[in-house]
A and B are shown apart, each in its own frame.
Chain A
Amino acid sequence: MAMLQHDRWRGLLRVLLAMLAMALLASACGDTDDGTTGAADDDSPAEEEPEDDTGAETEEPEDEPEEEPAENGDVSFEGETVRVLISQSPGGGFDTYARMLAGAIGNYLPGNPDVIAENMPGGAAVVMSNFLTHQSPRDGTEFGTFLPGVALGAVVDQEGNEFDPHAVNWLGTPLPNVVQCAFRNDLGFETFDDLVESGQTVTVSSTGFGGNTYYVPAILAEYGYGDFDIVIGYEGSSEARLAVEQGEADGICAQGVVDTSPEWFEEGGLASVLIQTGDGTETESIEDVPTWQELDVPEEGRSMMAIADALDGIGRAWAMPPEVPDDVVTVVRDAFETAWTEDEDLLAQAEQGGFPIDFRDHTFTENHVDSITSVEEDQLPLIMKLFYGEES
């Protein structure tokens, strides 16, 4: 009996030792998590430079990378897996655009890495943007697309938001957003004026505070343009749209509704777009639908609309984490732009699927970010209320 016990404990000890060894092995393999491997290595002392990498000029792998940054030609993603992070649940517009890019951008990144798309929904994109800020490797192997509201959230110290809009490396956007508010036809409203004048409480579905499904109806309601009951908590835009089809919500304010639910707007369809953001000059604006810039609102309301329009101008924004070496950023930005503007397959898929593309580079995005981050201190309480539902 004692021998049996002894054997058992010896077995247990062996098992524990084996587990420890496995854990150490996994830990050693996990270096990419903190960015110590990957393309950024090409900017650090290169100990094992791949031979004849991309046919570009090769530099001597010497020990002074900080003094002399490597040439862009040294950046290679060969053998890497690039992760494209998507802040929304699968099935929506963000997801589709991101997956189109994931299918194309590997062709333009040196070393032609594998690219996989990964959804990371939650907290109106705060989960993913925080991940990008803190956890993504700083080597160019991860970049993501998220709701622009996280940039404003960072400005107003939104709880849980640790995104730094000036620290990340913006890549640009394939399409600046215009938010369209669609309402079920069975409500009987033919125009936005009908809705406003009816005084009827209208339920709209929303993915959460900080997103345009929330702040657009909130701003409209604040200045007397509609009595909206905003139901938040839908996991993604596809669930929020389904709520409208189910009758759980009377309408929704979201970008690209006419693209993602085209059957709603056919003859005898479910819903109609009655109002849209912007001033009507944006690519995605719909003719014959009034814009909110046309509404008569006080100056304070106009400034809120301007912030919202800047956020939506950032659109389906893409960024890389902070602290990525400059040469890697340049290479990824070039690949990003080439994919959106020149990749024939991507452009054909976008056309086939009805996904418009109006590419804007990182400078466009940075300008909008600057206008968001320069809000005045006295505007913050109103911003908190209209964008985050927090009454002061």
Chain B
Amino acid sequence: MDGATFQALIEGLLSTLNVTTLLLMSAGIVAGFVIGILPGLGGTAALALMLPFTFAMDPVSAFALLLGMLASSTTASDLTSVVLGVPGDAVSTALVLDGYGMSKRGQGGRAIGAVLTSSMLGALAGAFVLAIAVPVVRPIVLAMGSPELFAVTLLGITTVGAVVSGAPIKGLILAAFGVMLSTVGQDPQTGVMRYTFGEPELWGGLGLVPVTIGMFALPEIFDMAVRNTSVAGTAADRIDSVMAGVRDTFRHWWLVLRSAVIAIFIGLLPGLGGSVAQWVSYGHAVQGAKDKDLVGKGAIEGVIGPGTASNAKDGASLIPTVAFGVPGSVSMAILLGAFLIQGLVPGPSMLTTQLPLTFSFVWVLIFSNIVTVVLCLLVARRLRALTTVSGRVLFAPVMVLLLVASFAEKRSFLDVLIMVGFGVLGWFMMKLDWPRAPFVLGFVLGGLAERYLFISVDRYGMGWVTRPGVILLGGLTVLGLVVPITLRIRAARVRGAAEHQQPPEGERADATDAGGPPASGAGSSREPRGST
């Protein structure tokens, strides 16, 4: 970091340290937390509604309010994913797998501790890396054209498809199914309708909120209500479990740093949303999980990775927003609206002459995250208690929230039906042990992948595949595909050899899978032993 950047960093800090700014930030944090904790609603609507109130403020105050709200709603959304298995918004879905898995194993408190701590450390690491990277941020962003962005979307889909599910082929097929469903609606290139069946409400495609909460939240709450169990089932929780999660996170500091770097890199890319950052971080984190059997069912690495990413990406995704005017998410788009109204013009000046202002945004994010985490830790015990509440008690209030959330996005009753439809699909997938994560990521990234591929071919012909960035990212994608499949083939051979040597004793019961539904195909998706 050169002297001028350091000076800008300090100036940015000083501009945030005044009473008005801190009070507005606190107001934003409280509002964001309350809205973010409601499943499916997220902070985007709150940001949009709050926007007009910022018009009369100075830029630092306006962004203190909005960024405070963004940071706390992001963290609160993560918590609902962990505690109830209901993603607060589409960005938080990666935390459902292992975060909710831990809750089902009676380790809800530990998962909350881990997600909160990793979230805070992610924000700090994100800001730190960003401060160092400012001089090279612009060249990096400018080097990432449509071909590279397509390669990143492909990397995201295959990472999750191949790594996360533990069943690469099945995962990839479901990711492809998600991509297919993302094409519903009007073709952005030609305006032609695809799979809309003459239904105007489908012209804009299937809504992300109804699909996501239908796929993840509905089956879980439905299953719990039918079985009349709580999230944690009969698994006992430990009294000190929140602090255990905090300690886990510090123990995995190297993973926190790596996840933060991944999230920052993806957050910097213009046009890609936060869910990509969280999913790729998740994929990376679980690759190094100590106990592969627990992946997707409660591995601590699968909580720390995406937990770190969820706030680390926010600082980074400010950069394409302020420096290029291209927001990576709806939240950032709303921030951009506030930005323009404040008379600030997105452009290179935000990384040079206006750098103190840009850093003040980063500082607000840091402070907001710290305050949010402290706030959440205060209520963590009560949140953890939710995991012991009976499913039949939880069913009605959670269903109301899910219905409202799916209806509210477009005020469409069809979206309620879509949510229920995907809930049924998700329930079958859950029972058949088909991974839902690759499907959702395929759905999220399919539209982007199509757009970037179309532009790449239109602009460069087939020459786009020879660009260095594409080759690098493509290589990572191929590795992400080949390595897990190779490992599985090797594991199958080892298992086959073992079966030849030993008399058949029937299926080995898996004692570690407490709380979760019996997984019919689980035996085939587990690594035997010693596999890396």
- Seen from chain A, the residues whose Cβ lies within 8 Å of a Cβ on chain B are 8, 11-12, 14-15, 18-19, 22-23, 25-27, 29-30, 32-33, 89-92, 95-96, 99-100, 102-103, 114-120, 122-124, 126-127, 130-131, 134-135, 158-162, 203, 208-210, 231-235, 238-239, 241-243, 245-249, 260-263, 345, 349, 352-354
Contact = CB atoms under 8 A, between A and B. Distances in A.
B347 interface: yes
Nearest to A115: B52
A114 B49 contact: yes
A12 B226 contact: yes
Nearest to A120: B204
Given A32-B411, A233-B458, A260 B325 contact: yes
A117 B342 CA distance: 17
Nearest to A234: B455
A22 B403 contact: yes
Nearest to A13: B226
A245 B324 contact: yes
Given A29-B407, A127-B203, A242-B270, A91 B458 contact: no
Interface in B164-214: 185-193, 200-201, 203-204
Contact of A15 (B226, B325, B333): B226
B463 interface: no
B186 A160 contact: yes
A96 B342 CA distance: 11
B526 interface: no
Contacts of A345: 55-56
B250 interface: no
B416 A23 contact: yes
A135 B191 contact: no
Contacts of B330: 90, 119
B204 A122 contact: yes
Counting contact residues on chain B (CB < 8 A from A), the size range is: 35 or more
B324 A11 contact: no
A119 B333 contact: yes
A370 B349 CA distance: 44
Contacts of A119: 330, 333
B200 A134 contact: yes
Contacts of B349: 263
Which residue, of B45, B228, B412, B413, has the highest number of chain A Cβ atoms within 10 A?
A: B413
A103 B455 contact: no
A-B CB proximity, top 10 nearest: A90-B333, A352-B343, A103-B52, A123-B191, A263-B347, A123-B186, A99-B337, A248-B145, A96-B340, A233-B455
B246 to A, nearest CB: 37
A231 B52 contact: no
Interface of B: 45, 48-49, 51-52, 55-56, 142-146, 185-193, 200-201, 203-204, 222, 225-228, 270-271, 321, 324-327, 330, 333-334, 336-337, 340-343, 345-349, 392, 395-396, 399-400, 403-404, 407, 411-413, 416-417, 420, 451, 454-455, 458-459
Contacts of B52: 102-103, 115
Contacts of B348: 263
A204 to B, nearest CB: 11
Tell me the dominant secondary structure on chain A's binding face: helix
A156 B486 CA distance: 55
Contacts of A160: 186, 191-193, 203
Contacts of B226: 8, 11-12, 15
A22 B400 contact: yes
Contacts of A208: 188-191
Contacts of B193: 159-160
19 contacts: A23-B417, A26-B403, A30-B412, A91-B336, A99-B340, A99-B341, A122-B186, A122-B188, A159-B191, A161-B191, A232-B458, A234-B455, A241-B325, A242-B325, A248-B455, A261-B325, A262-B345, A352-B342, A354-B343
Contacts of B327: 90-91, 238
A117 B48 contact: yes
Contacts of A115: 52
A247 B145 CA distance: 8
A391 B501 CA distance: 70
Nearest to A162: B200
B153 to A, nearest CB: 13
A200 to B, nearest CB: 16
Contacts of B201: 135
Which residue, of B142, B336, B392, B411, has the highest number of chain A Cβ atoms within 10 A?
A: B411
Contacts of A243: 145-146
B325 A91 contact: yes
A353 B343 contact: yes
Contact of B413 (A26, A100, A159, A233): A26
B146 A122 contact: no
Nearest to B52: A103
B142 A100 contact: no
Given A26-B416, A90-B330, A100 B411 contact: no
A122 B205 CA distance: 10
A131 B204 CA distance: 9
A246 B191 contact: no
A229 B180 CA distance: 30
A317 B185 CA distance: 24
Contacts of B325: 91-92, 238, 241-242, 260-261
Nearest to A116: B48
A182 B33 CA distance: 44
A82 to B, nearest CB: 12
A263 B345 contact: yes
A30 B417 CA distance: 13
A12 B474 CA distance: 47
A352 B341 CA distance: 8
Contacts of B271: 235, 239
A118 B409 CA distance: 10
A26 B145 contact: no
A184 B507 CA distance: 67
A23 B420 contact: yes
B204 A233 contact: no
Nearest to A203: B459
A233 B142 contact: no
Nearest to A390: B190
A91 B146 CA distance: 19
B188 A233 contact: yes
A306 to B, nearest CB: 24
A95 B420 CA distance: 33
Contacts of A15: 222, 225-226, 395
A208 B407 CA distance: 30
A170 B142 CA distance: 40
A264 B144 CA distance: 20
Given A11-B392, A90-B336, A352-B341, 6 more contacts: A23-B403, A89-B333, A90-B327, A99-B340, A123-B186, A345-B55
A262 B191 contact: no
B326 A238 contact: yes
B81 to A, nearest CB: 22
A122 B327 CA distance: 16
A16 to B, nearest CB: 9
A248 B228 contact: no
Contacts of B186: 122-123, 126-127, 160
A146 B115 CA distance: 42
B519 to A, nearest CB: 19
A158 B416 contact: no
Nearest to B459: A231
Which residue, of A15, A96, A116, has the highest number of chain B Cβ atoms within 10 A?
A: A15
Contacts of A231: 455, 458-459
Nearest to A351: B343
Nearest to A355: B340
Given A89-B333, A231-B455, A242 B191 contact: no
Nearest to B138: A245
Contact of A248 (B146, B324, B341, B413): B146
